[in-house]
Amino acid sequence: MRLKRILVAYVAIVGIVASIATSCSDEIVETDGEADATITNCILDKSGRPMAILEISNSTSQTVSYLVTIVFRDAEYARRSSDVRVPEVGPHEITVATVTTRESVAWPQNELTCQLDGVVRKPD
């Protein structure tokens, strides 16, 4: 009889743990969101600062925020990087964001390149 109670208690505990694990698997944790970000344009703004225009597409079913880092380079690979926080992007929503450097550069427009250096997606 005692063995039967222990077995029933064990099965109940395993069931509870499995239930919790299943419900937690739908939660979003901080992840690599690089697949959600695309650079749509790479230009110098009116002040001569490198600027990347991004399209962020939230591929999840929850509202999330993004931290996007862009590396700007010229033809000789001089490098500047900058990041932008894009808050509260709704489920399956698409938004546009811009990333610029703080200082202007002497790079010609035709030598400017922009590259995603990191995209972090985390729940709001």
- Domains in the chain (CATH in brackets) are 31-123 (2.60.40.10)
pLDDT for position 117: 94
On whether the CB atoms of residues 31 and 121 are closer than 8 A, the answer is: yes
Which regions in the chain score pLDDT beneath 50?
A: 7-12, 14-26, 28
List the structure tokens of 96. 């546009």
Show the tokens assigned to 29.
């944790």
Q: What is the pTM of this model?
A: 0.72
- Measure the CA–CA gap between 47 and 14, rounded to whole angstroms: 62
**What pLDDT is recorded for position 5?**
56
